[in-house]
């Protein structure tokens, strides 16, 4: 189990929207998909686009530059799941949104 870090309030992330939070040197995008929250690295591992500017559909975030699709359930590249981007469990405690980050 990793370290939990509070990143905002549930109301800060509207359904269908996202926020980007900086944790250490890492930007993490937190998506609200129909009331369920998912967190992945904002930096696309292909060429560095911001995944928060992408399109969410069918359980994936599609990068806005070259349309690689990453599963929100585990950060895997949908076309080749051995390739993964950073993915983090999200916990909602009361109104607080917490990310579980590796130690």
CB of 67 vs ligand FES, minimal distance in Å: 6
Q: Are 8 and 17 in contact (CB under 8 A)?
A: no
In angstroms, what is the minimal distance from the CB of 83 to ligand FES? 11
- By beta-carbon proximity to ligand FES, the closer residue of 16 and 48 is 48
Binding site for ligand FES (CB under 6 A): 44, 46-49, 63, 65-66, 68
**Secondary structure of the chain in HEC code, one letter for each residue:** CCEEEEEEEHHHCCCCCEEEEEECCEEEEEEEECCEEEEEECECCCCCCEHHHCEEECCEEECCCCCCEEECCCCEECCCCCCECCEECEEEECCEEEEEECC
Least distance to ligand FES, CB of residue 19, Å: 19
CB of 50 to ligand FES, least distance (A): 9
Residue 48: alpha-carbon gap to chain centroid = 15
């Amino acid at each position: 189990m990793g370290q939990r870090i509070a990143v905002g309030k549930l109301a800060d992330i509207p359904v269908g929207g996202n926020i980007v939070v900086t944790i250490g040197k890492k930007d993490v995008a937190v998506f609200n998909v129909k009331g369920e929250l998912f967190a992945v690295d904002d930096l696309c591992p292909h060429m560095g686009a911001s995944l928060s500017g992408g399109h969410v559909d069918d359980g994936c975030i599609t990068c806005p530059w070259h349309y690689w699709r990453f599963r929100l359930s585990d950060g895997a590249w949908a076309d080749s799941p051995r390739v993964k981007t950073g993915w983090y469990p999200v916990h909602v405690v009361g109104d607080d949104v917490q990310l579980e980050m590796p130690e």
